Structure 1
Amino acid sequence: MFQPNMFETHHQLLDMSGHKTPDSELGKMRDDEFESSRSATENLEGLSGDDQDPNQRPKKKRYHRHTQHQIQEMENFFKECPHPDDKQRKELSRRLSLEPLQVKFWFQNKRTQMKAQHERSENQQLRNENEKLRADNIRFKEALSNATCPNCGGPAAIGEMSFDEQQLRIENARLREEIDRISGIAAKYVGKPLVTYPHNLQSQGLQPSRSSLDLGVGSYGPQSGMVGDIYGSAGDLIRSVAPPTEADKPMIIELAVAAMEELIRMAQAGDPLWIPSADNSTEILNEEEYFRTFPRGIGPMPLGLKSEASRDSAVVIMNHMNLVEILMDVNQWSCVFSGIVSRAMTLEVLSTGVAGNYNGALQVMTAEFQVPSPLVPTRENYFVRYCKQHGDSTWAVVDVSLDGLRPSPIPRCRRRPSGCLIQELPNGYSKVMWVEHVEVDDRAVHNIYRALVNSGLAFGAKRWVSALDRQCERLASVMASNMPAGEGGVITSPEGRKSMLKLAERMVMSFCAGVGASTAHTWTTLSGSGADDVRVMTRKSMDDPGRPPGIVLSAATSFWMPVSPKRVFDFLRDENSRSEWDILSNGGLVQEMAHIANGRDPGNCVSLLRVNSANSSQSNMLILQESSTDPTGSYVIYAPVDIVAMNVVLNGGDPDYVALLPSGFAILPDGPVGAHGGGPLEVGSGGSLLTVAFQILVDSVPTAKLSLGSVATVNSLIKCTVERIKAAVACENP
């Protein structure tokens, strides 16, 4: 077996995500735009009337002019975050040698200025649209009065135009008006009018001019949020993708408008476009009917790719506007869907929307979508995201690939119009209808995951909707103020409860970002582990305050078990059975000190566990654990935590500086329920796909070399854990 010092090393755990959740909750409205616009220097340096001698003339107030460098730095920060929190303002003030109040009032003034400019521009746009409508009205009246019948030459009546022709003309006018409006909004942010664009994308082959593509220099500012920056920079994801040029932008806008139209029709259509899946758990696309309904779309399917499309819906516990904000903010989107989105970045914002919301927002993005296993390649997409309001209570957010803009061969995954319709409900909830439609080459998927991927459950609409529903329940739990404290009275305040949930969220994001087969990871395969294969990789940490310097070794393996996912999940999350598989607990008694429910399912919770080990060096060890489950998969993720640091969190302290290095399990079904193609002991017969992952600090010196002994230790650790789990949950063949 292993030496105690190895166990101690395993529990020197640190967070690897580097991602900080915004301090404001997702449901919180934006800062009041009518904040005071007083100058910071007036607050800090101006004299009040009581301080002046009444017989003297009032002294002139002294004003502080910011340097060009200070203004430029704050301008750059404003582009990414117009509402900085206290921590960000303090960091800016320290870096720019300003007072925090000066920074605060500069941002207030800047927001007020931008709002005024936005309102002036919007008013001018409305006046222009009004004039255009008036002119169109006059022109139409004149055309009607002068219309003649093509057959007899006499006056024509509207009824003589066919119904289909009328509908086509109305639809064409509506689409052209929407393109013109979005083009005008984008032009405002581009800085000059957009060029005239073609009205037939397919005839142009979606191939813009590449004469001005500069792969080395981007036309955008500092990147907005990056997620999953664990083993490589999110910038690595877009090394071969240049930002859109001026010539590309009109084509992007027209493609987004057409994609929005297709998404809405697909979300609202019924049979024969959509048919039930084999297990009746979701709806899948009738491809023949799709190409009859949308003959043009974004072009024919590239050779070597296959279609994968599904639709699902759910009622979730969240306001519709908060959902829109989550989808349009890359940080929040990546956080809520951390099990699916391994890395994401906004490359350029073409429009932020109008009227103070996201109506008309348009942004170019890149992202990687994953299954929590190193045996399933990620799907990388370069796409435009467009948000639009339909009526008073419905919003739509659509993605569509921009692969025609890539200076590269045909991609391995292409995203046809995909996204969701969000409908406001009277009780404050929202109904979400999700459409996921991709064309993909998945030949590199491991055999044991092929049935799951082919069924559409791995990347399809049901997984997105299930994850959203579960995360909305979790967010409701975070924001709740009337929840009871944890068992045993450990959590003594709502602030402590909130801090513990934020710490658990960071732990989950770190685990999910490091367990998949992202292109940022460089895996080395070890054989003979008792599972299919063990994949290992290393990371060096030096300057992150949440991680002490050192070398971290991450190991993961995936394998199939002839046991239902629910049985595996219940076994792994139960503290009473932990000693049967957790080598590091060393047979000690595990006691739950605190429990926070995260939804209706009792399996969705955050727990604080104490391990009372016979080993004195491990006595009174604490473990933070989050378990979560939905119809598409389950997680049990945990990390040993320092007792002193955890006491700070339980009293409402900042959880961002607590050292974490998470380990855990991802449990997926081996295929769709009720559609098994194999026998009782084959993949697809109702068993589980289990991924086991460990992260261990093997050396506290970042410049040290990784020893073969460390690799052998983690390999033995994961092998022994796998064997124990198999022995504990395996049952006789049904």
Structure 2
Amino acid sequence: MDYDGDGSPDNEHYTSVNAMSKEKRICHRHTPQQIQKLEAYFKECPHPNESQREAFCSVLDLGIDQVKFWFQNKRTQSKTQDERTSNILLREENKKLQLENAAMIEVLKTVTCPPCGGPPFGRDDRESNLHKMRLENAFLKTERDSLTTTKNKYQQTMLDSLTSVQRQQTFEALTSYGMNLYNQPSSLESQTIQPQLLPQMDLPQLSETAATAVEELKRLFRTDEALWVMSSIDGTYVIDQESYEKFSHSIKHFRNLSARVESSKDITVVPIEATSLIDMFLDSEKWKMLFPTIVNKAKTIHTLGSELPINENCNVLQVIWEQLHILSPLVPPREFMIVRCCQQIGEGLWIIADVSQDSQHIFNSDQASPSCYKRPSGCLIRSLPNAHTEVRWIEHVEVDHTADTHKMYRDLVSGSSGYGARRWIVTLERMCERMALSSILIMPATDWSETIPTVEGRRSVMKLGERMLKIFNEMLIMSGKVEFPQQSKCGVRISIRMNKEPGQLPGLVVTAASCLSIPLTPLQVFNCLRSKDTRHQWDVLCRGNTITETARIFTGSSGTNCITLLQPTPLWDIGQNMVQEPQKKMMVLQECYMDALGGMIVYSPLDMATMSIAAAGEVDPLNIPILPSGFTISSDNSEGTLLMLAFQILNSDENSKTRSVSEIAVDRVSRLISQTVQNIKLMLNCPPE
């Protein structure tokens, strides 16, 4: 049989092969139910990790590549839509500007001279005036450059006239300033905070911002159905962003794909008067004391009263700068310039709303673009009988520094247990219990002590423990330039600072921190580290000997929240003669807590004489120098634990400011923390990496 043209056997073969290849390229079309669930996941987590993608596959009955490619395509589509929307808005804005420009040109054609009411300047006159102003501007620039040159020459002459000793002192001062490698001040704190008086024209803007935030927060508290949905990832309630954008008409402040929105809410009842709690919220120093493990720094820039035109129930309006930080040096701090408004909205009912405010209007400086923006957030405070208070909390922020967080802590920080409402609520519960126990006038039956004889001494030790915890948390930022790469490659982060803070040991302080993952629950790790029976296995202060507990002060209803005084067992030589000199006798002050999100163990060695003075309540605890070290313990969102340990060593040598001594101190503290990590792994029977 003859075949011609398209009917040849060869062509039939190729057609069949092409058809088969086309069939292989047919894409699997997702069902509407699968697409709906994928859309819901995408709103909460645009960048799922491997474990989350596997969980989605099991729920949706899809392959891992199908889920992966769907999210990639969805991110690209979302970015394109955002860019298209942005372009439309920019074009509309451009049209408006063009219309305004044309209108101003028309007005200029008929403008009159104000002094005489005569006709406007002609084009030639205007060009002549512009030429004169340009010449004057050039002359002023020349004068400025001449003055700058003269000033620099004068400064150089003054420096050359310094003696060699003075030059050495100047060099050492500059060196000590530059040695703060990780504890560099933030973009705002690096400058002396010099707020300007708010112009009268800014007051209505602040008023409008606060009023809008209060009304939005009221609606978020009252609405439980349309705006709040249960997260499919961790089961907590989050704000549905589509519904939120419809009623708030807010805009996204960050367009990067790495940016995300965090939202959460929680509720609790705490043993404190509502008015006392509000007073602590509106005082920046008390605010830091109330949340010592979250609020690293805070400063009230402006406080304005009820004369502002918000409404009659406005009690206080404040502008506040705050720096927040938690958990580990691997987690970047968050900085906000916020407007805080407190209003009484009912009998025994108050609302406190926070919303981000542009710092450019408040400070005489050019600030870097912020990486965090706080949408209307805050709490609803209701007075209850028996000196108790109900607190409802909402956190709603945009964040654009996901990449700055180490992958070890990224999932933890992104969830509600990071900077979310749950973190604020559990901290508030713990601190209110602590304040209630510190204010009692008799020694509680649960406490016991061989070294704290009075209630005043107990209160003094509690204040010292509170300050120790706060100093430790402030030290954890350790952000900045890595100066010692050999340690960083080993998983140890190093910070060097010249310590001049009151109440801390003065001199050059070397700090080292390391983080590790442990396949045990946080409570198991917490109990092993604070046990006095196993402490000698990891704590260098014990020198391999057992340790004795001489006092215990409970700081909460849980048995895990307490302050303890520990005394290492004296060292003995072979002939049973004590070799520990009296001046070397020391005690260890330790505070620890455990809550629903993790815990801390912070401790500091003190000589026995200083500890005795503190336990007797004879001196202000703020005047006792202390240099804490310790651990933070966090859940890794599974059955394991993220453990962060940080040690501080004081280098008080007279040449401690030189680089050579700093390297010795760095090497010493790096070896110390590395050995401690190995000892802890051995004690907890951790498998080798």
Please indicate the TM-score interval, normalised by the length of the shorter structure: 0.5 to 0.7
Q: Provide the secondary structure at the position in 1 that maps to 2:209.
A: helix
Matched, 1:300 2:252: yes
Deviations 1:500-535 (CA, angstroms, capped at 9, x unpaired): 0001011001000001245xx655454457x96211
Task: Please show how residues 710-725 of structure 1 align to structure 2 within 5 Å.
Answer: 710-725=665-680
**Are the equivalent residues in 2 in contact too, given 1:533–1:557 (CA < 8 A)?**
yes
> 1:127-206 to 2 correspondence within 5 Å?
none
Matches of 1:288 and 1:438, distance apart in 2: 15
TM-score of the superposed pair, with normalisation by structure 2:
0.66
Cα distance 1:240–1:545, how it changes in 2: closer, same or farther (>3 A)? closer
Show CA shifts across 1:379-399 (max 9, x none). Answer: 111111111111111111111
Q: 1:579 is matched with which residue?
A: 536
- C-alpha contact 1:585 1:613 (8 A) present in aligned 2: no
Q: Report the Cα distance in structure 1 between the residues aligned to 2:565 and 2:556, rounded to whole angstroms.
A: 17
2:378 counterpart of 1:426: no
Structure 2 residue 287 is matched with structure 1 residue 333: yes
Tell me the residue number matched to 2:421: 461
Identify the residue that residue 345 of structure 1 maps to in structure 2: 299
Q: Is the contact made by 2:195 and 2:301 (CA closer than 8 Å) also made in structure 1? A: no
Structure 1 counterpart SS, 2:393? strand
Match of 2:525 among 568, 572, 575: 568
Distance 1:276 1:527 in 2: 46
Change (3 A) 1:237 1:418: farther
The CA distance in 1 between the partners of 2:633 and 2:393, in whole Å, is 23
SS in 2 for 1:594: strand
Instruction: Give, in angstroms, the shift of residue 234 of structure 1.
Output: 9.6
**CA shift digits 1:413-465 (9 cap, x unpaired):** 10000111111111211111000000001221111111102223111000000
Q: How far did 1:273 drift?
A: 1.5
Q: For 2:497 and 2:507, locate their aligned partners in 1 and report how far apart those are by CA, in whole Å.
A: 8
1:668-723 Cα offsets, whole Å, 9 max, x none, are 1112xxxxxxxxxxxxx321111111111112438632422111100000000111
**Corresponding position: 1:313 with 2:313:** no
User: Aligned AA for 1:303?
Assistant: R
What CA distance in whole angstroms lies between the structure 1 residues aligned with 2:504 and 2:360? 39
* Partners of 2:484 and 2:219 in 1: CA distance: 46
What corresponds to 1:127 in structure 2?
none
Equivalences for 1:39-118 in 2 at 5 Å? none
For residue 397 of structure 2, give the secondary structure of its aligned residue in structure 1: strand
Contact between 1:234 and 1:343, CA under 8 Å: does it hold in 2? no
Distance in 1 between the 2:505 and 2:252 partners?
51
What is aligned with 1:475?
Answer: 435
Query: Partner residue of 1:659?
Result: 625
Which of 249, 252, 256 aligns to 2:203? It is: 249
Structure 2 CA distance for aligned equivalents of residues 634 and 509 of structure 1:
14
Q: Where in structure 2 are the equivalents of 1:339-418 lying within 5 Å?
A: 339-351=293-305, 360-403=315-358, 405=360, 408=367, 410-418=369-377
CA distance in 2, matches of 1:595, 1:586: 23
Shift in Å, 1:666: 0.6
CA contact (8 A) 1:526 1:534 kept: no
Counterpart CA distance in 1 for 2:194 and 2:245 is 29
Q: Deviations over 1:556-576 (max 9, x none)?
A: 122222221111111111222
Shift of 1:625: 0.2
Q: Select which of 510, 516, 520 maps to 1:553.
A: 510
Structure 1 residues 285 and 566: alpha-carbon distance in aligned structure 2, compared to 1, 3 A threshold: same
| Cα distance between partner residues in 2 of 1:667 and 1:648 | 32
CA distance in 2, matches of 1:275, 1:513: 35
Residues of 2 paired with 1:239 and 1:647: CA distance?
39
Distance (whole Å) between structure 1 residues aligned to residue 306 and residue 276 of structure 2: 16
**Paired residue type of 1:448:** M
Q: CA deviation at 1:660?
A: 0.6
Structure whose alpha-carbon radius of gyration is higher: 2
> Measured at CA, do residues 434 and 303 of structure 1 come closer, stay the same or move farther in structure 2, by a change above 3 Å?
same
Equivalent position to 1:539, from 465, 485, 497: 497
Aligned residues: 486
Aligned to 2:245: 291
Q: CA deviation at 1:645?
A: 1.4
Equivalent of residue 453 in structure 2, options 473, 479, 492? 492
Q: Measure how far apart 1:665 and its partner are.
A: 0.3
Structure 2 vs 1, CA of residues 488 and 633 (structure 1 numbering), >3 Å: closer, same or farther? closer
Is the CA contact (8 Å cut-off) linking 1:612 and 1:620 kept in structure 2?
no
* Residue 308 to residue 594, structure 1, CA distance change in 2 (3 Å): same
- Distance change in 2, residues 1:695/1:686 (3 Å): same
Which residue number in structure 2 is paired with residue 643 of structure 1? 608
Cα 1:693/1:409, change in 2 over 3 Å = closer
Q: Deviations over 1:300-344 (max 9, x none)?
A: 343123211100111111111111011111001112212111221
Tell me the secondary structure at the aligned position of residue 360 of structure 1: strand
Q: Deviations over 1:36-65 (max 9, x none)?
A: xxxxxxxxxxxxxxxxxxxxxxxxxxxxxx
In 2, distance between residues paired with 1:553 and 1:404? 34
C-alpha separation between the residues in 1 aligned to 2:490 and 2:678?
12
Does residue 461 of structure 2 align to residue 506 of structure 1? no
Deviates more, 1:324-333 or 1:483-492: 483-492
Assess, with a 3 A threshold, how the Cα gap between structure 1 residues 234 and 472 changes in structure 2: closer, same or farther: farther
Do residues 668 (structure 1) and 626 (structure 2) align?
no
Task: Give me the whole-angstrom Cα distance separating, in 1, the residues matched to 2:389 and 2:370.
Answer: 35
User: Per the alignment, do residues 251 and 606 of structure 1 end up closer, same or farther by CA in structure 2, a change over 3 Å counting?
Assistant: same
SS of 1:256's equivalent? helix
Maintained 8 Å contact 1:635/1:665: yes
Please give the per-residue CA displacement for 1:64-103, whole angstroms capped at 9, x wherever unaligned.
xxxxxxxxxxxxxxxxxxxxxxxxxxxxxxxxxxxxxxxx
Amino acid at match of 2:318: Q
The Cα of 1:283 is off from its aligned counterpart by: 2.0
TM-score (normalizing by structure 1): 0.62
Question: Is residue 627 of structure 1 aligned with residue 584 of structure 2?
Answer: no
- Please give the alpha-carbon distance, in whole angstroms, between the structure 1 residues aligned to 2:667 and 2:544: 23
> How far apart are the structure 2 equivalents of 1:248 and 1:241?
17
Structure 1, unmatched stretches of 5+, are 1-203, 205-228, 672-684
Change in Cα spacing, 1:375 to 1:541, as seen in structure 2 (3 Å) is closer
User: Measured at CA, do residues 288 and 593 of structure 1 come closer, stay the same or move farther in structure 2, by a change above 3 Å?
Assistant: same
Q: 1:704 aligns with which of 651, 654, 657?
A: 657
Q: 1:553 to 1:358 in 2, by over 3 A?
A: farther
Sequence identity (%): 35
Please tell me the root mean square deviation across aligned C-alpha atoms, in Å: 2.9
Q: Secondary structure at the match of 2:404?
A: coil
When residues 358 and 338 of structure 1 are mapped into structure 2, their CA distance, relative to the original with a 3 A threshold, is farther
Partners in 2 of 1:233 and 1:701 — Cα distance? 29
Q: 1:626 & 1:358 partners in 2: Cα distance? A: 42
- Structure 2 CA distance for aligned equivalents of residues 483 and 358 of structure 1: 43
- What letter is aligned with 2:641? S
Separation in 2, partners of 1:600, 1:404: 41
**1:241 Cα deviation (Å)?**
9.0
Give the structure 2 partner of residue 446 of structure 1: 406
Instruction: Report the AA paired with residue 566 of structure 1.
Output: L
Q: CA deviation at 1:249?
A: 2.2
d(CA) in 1 for partners of 2:611, 2:292: 24
8 Å CA contact 2:505–2:626 kept in 1: the answer is no
What runs of 5+ residues in structure 2 fail to find an aligned partner? 1-95, 97-181, 573-578
Answer whether contact 2:372 2:397 (CA < 8 A) is retained: yes
